[in-house]
Amino acid sequence: MTPGQFLLIAAALIAFGLALRRGVPTAQRALRETGQTITRVLPLLLVALPMAAFLAELIPPDVAAGWLGPESGLPGIAIASLAGGFIPGGPFVSFPLVLTFIKAGAGGPQMVALITGWAILGFHRVIAWEWPVLGPRFIAIRLIASFALPVLAGLLAGLLLPFFPHALVRP
């Protein structure tokens, strides 16, 4: 078990303990909520993990090492930012993909840009959820205000990367 997993499990138990102190009905609601999320997330996961693995198998390794490699610089960051926007689905898709890219030799700033592009631009989520709930004008304002941020995050990661020597460990 990694330290991160341990911290997470501890935090979950503490939060659940606090809910229990509020009374058994609160704890029951928390458990019901958790169960509902599991039944929603688990099918997604079971479909998404094979998809990410197949895609990783299809993407030639030199794409990760070349276009998105550590030497690709600002163009690589820009490509990664835009490509991130087109990754469909949630974290169950994007993070396994990024993991395979890192293993194949992608650069740190490029991967930060990819994740940021997926999170901020995420066109699939915009169309499926943001548009119906908040409307096209809100989306326009938000995208105008944030379309350059993935590139900025990538550049920032380039500055910070020397302080994180273990960020790109490739087993």
Binding of another protein by 82 (CB under 8 A): no
Per CB under 8 A, the segment of 56-64, 67-75, 76-84 that binds another protein is: 56-64
**Alpha carbon distance 25, 21 (integer Å):** 10
123 belongs to the binding site for another protein (CB under 8 A):
no
> Given candidates 106, 111, 123, 151, which one binds another protein under the rule CB under 8 A?
111
Kindly state the smallest distance separating residue 62's Cβ from another protein, in Å: 16
Query: Which positions ≥6 away from 74 have C-beta within 8 Å?
Result: 151, 155
Residue with smaller CB distance to another protein, 75 or 135: 135
Q: How far is the CB of 26 from another protein (least distance, A)?
A: 5
* Alpha-carbon gap, residue 106 to 71, rounded angstroms: 9
The answer to whether 62 contacts another protein (rule: CB under 8 A) is no
Q: Which residues contact 163 (CB under 8 A, 6 or more apart)?
A: none
30 lies in the binding site for another protein (CB under 8 A) = yes
Distance CA 171, CA 166 (A): 12
Could you give the string, one character per residue 137-156, with x where binding to another protein holds by CB under 8 A and - elsewhere? Answer: xx-xxx-xxx--x--xxx-x
Contact 151, 118 (CB under 8 A): no
Separation of alpha carbons 25 and 31, rounded Å? 10
Q: State which residue, 50 or 75, has the beta carbon closest to another protein.
A: 50
Type of residue found at 60: P
